[in-house]
Structure 1
């Protein structure tokens, strides 16, 4: 027995496939994707900045710390400073899977002493390559 295909069958199949996208099940964990929720800078003195960032569902504390570093580096560049030195970071958990980092950095035009120094231009470029916002 030979099967006869109706000429409209391929169009009907395409229409059904296009409509199926709205009915597709959500993948587990899709609602827990990391999200960057913003950064706030507070100047503590001429060369000291406090950066507070929030992330929803970060992949770990390193992700929130990287977000704070990216925001601080961009902030320093905007103020005419090329370098930072990390002073401290405090992490805190908020409701709904939101993690907050409260970080303090010194800013300087020349490379500061210490082992926790940051070249702001290099960090901002790296952040862009990783898709981490700097604002």
Structure 2
């Protein structure tokens, strides 16, 4: 007869074996590979960014947001709003194709960005802007 805790330990061991293995980035050393900016129409702007050394897709999303915030300031606007972003990774290089609106006043929507605050946050985090 097995001890009552043995079944629990066996179950935990089996679950651990079945857990999805994901590579772990122990030291975050991002390599920002540039931003391509394209005015689409009116207040819509497309940003294509690429980076290596990202921990996950959020790092490249943050890079795109920093580019959008700086672009808004350069154009004399105080705000941006994310419309959509597509993220992909191939061979360790993460890419984001993001579209934002830029505006002088807080735009309607959920993903609004105060450009000045965002750019300062980007600088503090070491993320380059446009």
Scaled by the length of structure 1, the TM-score of the pair is 0.74
Is structure 2 residue 64 aligned with structure 1 residue 68? yes
Aligned partner of 1:114 among 81, 93, 109: 109
| Aligned residues: CA RMSD | 1.8
Scaled by the length of structure 2, the TM-score of the pair is 0.76
Q: Which residue number corresponds to residue 22 of structure 1?
A: none
Aligned partner of 2:38 among 42, 47, 51: 42
- Separation in 2, partners of 1:109, 1:123: 15
Unaligned runs of 5+ in 2: 1-24
Q: Secondary structure at the match of 1:80?
A: coil
Shift of 1:31: 9.9
* Max Rg structure: 1
| Aligned residue pair count | 106
Unaligned runs of 5+ in 1: 1-28
Is structure 2 residue 29 aligned with structure 1 residue 33? yes
- Separation in 2, partners of 1:66, 1:31: 18
Q: Secondary structure at the match of 2:108?
A: coil
Counterparts of 1:1-135 in structure 2, within 5 Å, are 33-95=29-91, 97-135=92-130
- Separation in 1, partners of 2:27, 2:110: 38
- Separation in 2, partners of 1:111, 1:59: 31
